[in-house]
Structure formats: C-alpha cells, structure tokens
Amino acid sequence: MLTARAPRISTLAGLREALTRRAGPEAADWLAAATREIGAQPAALHRHFPEAGRRCGRGALEPAEETDRADQADAPAEADGLPAGLAWTVDDAARALLLAAVPLRGAELAARASAVYHEGDAAERRGVLRALSLLDVGEHALPLVRDALRTDDARLLAAALGPYAARNLDPHTWRHAVLKCLHRSIPLAAVDGVVRRRDGELRRMACDYAVELTDAGRPVPSDLWFLTGHLPRS
C-alpha cells in the first residue's frame, strides 16, 4: 500500500501562510526584515540562510494546502502520512522564502541557490531542495538534485524528490532514485509524482527487486508491490 503523501506546498503564499501559523511574531519579524534586505542586497542571503533554524524553529510545518488528489487517485491513503523528518519543516519554509526573495531568475538564481547549498549543512541543503519548485530556475538547478540523490541521507533524498524533480528529472535518473528510496526504506509517499510517472520500465525494475528480495527470504515492502502493479501473495 502506498502511504498518502504529506500535502505539498505549491505556492509562496501557501508557504508563508503555513509558516505564519507555526512561527511566532519574533520569527515573522526577523523573516520580513531578512527578505527585505535580500531583495535589496542578494549577498545578504549567505548571512541569513544559516540563521533560519535558530530564528524560526525547526519543527514540523503544518501544511497549507491539500494534497494533489489527481496524482494519487489510485493510491490508497493511510492516516499517518510521512514519517517525521521527511516532510516540510519550519526552517525549510523560512529558507525557501529567503531564496524566493532573491531578485534573480534562471541560471543566476540557480547559481545563488547552489552557493548556499554547497556552503550549508544538511538542514540548509534540504531547505534549498525544498525551495526549488517555488523558484524560477528552469532546469538549471538539476545538478543540486543529482548531488542529493548520491547521498544516503533520507531527508535529503526525500527533499530532492519533490515537485521540481517530478517535473524536470530525466526518466532514467528518476527511476533509479525511486528504487534507491526503496533500498533505503524511504516511503514512496515522499516521492512527488510517483503515480503519474511510474512506467513499464520502473515496473520491470521493481519486479526484479521483488524477486531478489523473495529469493533472499526477505519481505517485500508494500510500496514495492505498488510499483510492480501486483498484489502480494497470501
């Protein structure tokens, strides 16, 4: 069974609304001042970006919008959603809004995002990856997604496979990223567009992996059965 995705943040307004509900007035004031400064002086991003967790908090972000129902129309839902640490956090939201305040677009904005990504720790990198679907960067930020997919950090993998990757990542890389999630026990609920983008080749790869697990006497996870298109044997 494919666990229901945590609702996605699809607009900056929705992200700002969610953050307002979770962060206090001091955090809101800091973020407003920081975004104004970044809008006037983009280099200020490098100073404010690492501060977001301390200034705004690091807890889970309450979703502002409903899940894209069309994307999981044939995916049974469970109430628990994503495990802790794989969904948006308050500092993710703050960092996304800081990046969105940079008055650049395309390759220039992607370069700025890449700079704070490579300068930052895991939480800062996750914030960049979360922000990508909300930034006007075209395909210029795909190197960041590919970098995150080479790690074994479940939080980075989940953040990398958001709406930006679902729209822009090539089929070969995306399929292997999905299989890596299964290898790392990351629920497919963390992968945006998995219902829409699964295809015959991914089904074949999933079947091969299911056979490998079965031959080794290991259980086949329910998400893997979902990808194969078969029901588990009773």
Q: Does some domain include residue 212? A: no
Res 233: pLDDT: 56
Give the mean pLDDT of 40-61. Answer: 96
- The set of residues, in sequence order, having a beta carbon less than 8 Å from that of 98 and lying 6+ positions away, is 31, 34, 35, 38, 45, 48, 49, 52
The whole-angstrom separation of Cα 25 and Cα 94 is 14
Is the pLDDT reported for residue 229 higher than 90?
A: no
pLDDT in tens, 9-44: 678 998 998 898 888 899 999 999 999 999 999 999
Residues paired with residue 89 on neighbouring β-strands, in sequence order: 60
Res 81: pLDDT: 53
Q: How many CB atoms lie within 10 A of CB 102?
A: 20
Q: Does some domain include residue 33? A: yes
Res 219: pLDDT: 92
The whole-angstrom separation of Cα 87 and Cα 18 is 13
The whole-angstrom separation of Cα 215 and Cα 234 is 16
Is the pLDDT reported for residue 78 higher than 80?
A: no
Which pair of tokens denotes residue 91? 């500092």
Give the mean pLDDT of 79-100. Answer: 82
Is the pLDDT reported for residue 232 higher than 70?
A: no
How many structural domains comprise the chain? 1
Q: Does some domain include residue 203? A: no
Q: Does some domain include residue 87? A: yes
Q: Does some domain include residue 188? A: no
Which pair of tokens denotes residue 71? 């994307």
Is the pLDDT reported for residue 128 higher than 50?
A: yes
234 or 150: which leads in pLDDT? 150
Q: Does some domain include residue 113? A: yes
- Per-residue CA distances from 182 to 49, 127, 155, 217, 223 (Å): 32, 23, 14, 17, 8
Is the pLDDT reported for residue 72 higher than 50?
A: no
Domain that holds residue 54: 12-140
The whole-angstrom separation of Cα 118 and Cα 97 is 18
Is the pLDDT reported for residue 70 higher than 50?
A: no
Res 87: pLDDT: 87
Q: Does some domain include residue 48? A: yes
Q: How many CB atoms lie within 10 A of CB 107?
A: 14
pLDDT in tens, 180-224: 999 998 999 899 999 999 999 999 999 999 999 999 999 999 999
Q: Does some domain include residue 205? A: no
